[in-house]
Amino acid sequence: MRTTGSREVYRNPWIRVREDAVELADGSAGVYGVVERPHFALVLPREDDGFWLVEQFRYPLGRRAWEFPQGTWSAGNDGSAEELALAELAEETGLRARRIEHLGRLDLAPGLATQRFDVWLATDLVHGDAQREATEADMVQAFVPDDELHARIRDGRFTDGPSLAAYALWLLRG
């Protein structure tokens, strides 16, 4: 496949959408819509026999959703993937990790978006005050034991795709 043209369709501070004209292997023409977003960090804060989760209103879904802490740098901020994970954890939960382990890097939606995310396991946690952004003002957090998390996954109360993929990486870690 070869890109023969590209044009920006939409942009705001958080997202860019482009439309690429392509030539397929058989010579026919095609088009791809591509969503560009910055890479993000997702953190599994592990304590005792469970995890700390956050819940917030997710506008595109029109409902509140539970997930692992996750996010990207705010405009004007930058740093390593590990620094981003530690910053997001502290911002959303007030937790500081004395130990952090990289579990992997995943593609969010490779047929649609360029966005990837790094998955981190945070342990040896120190509790403090969250420093949430204005868009996270309604966020709550809760410690969820393993058996409760499993129940939430089974009955559809925990449906965030990146969180579930991250949890799978943690399970594969053994």
- The domain ranges of the chain are 2-36, 40-173
Q: What confidence tens digit (pLDDT) does each residue in 91-145 have?
A: 999 999 999 999 999 999 999 999 999 999 999 999 999 999 888 889 999 999 9
Cα separation, 110 vs 116, in Å, equals: 9
Mean of pLDDT over the chain: 95
> What strand order describes the sheet that includes 29-36?
2-12, 15-23, 29-36
41 is written with which tokens?
């960090």
Amino acid at 7: R
Query: What homologous superfamily does CATH list for 40-173?
Result: Nucleoside Triphosphate Pyrophosphohydrolase (3.90.79.10)
User: CA angle 67-119-75, nearest 5°?
Assistant: 80
pTM of the model: 0.93
**Residue 133, pLDDT score:** 86
Instruction: Look at 56-60, 76-80, 102-106 and tell me which has the smallest mean pLDDT.
Output: 76-80
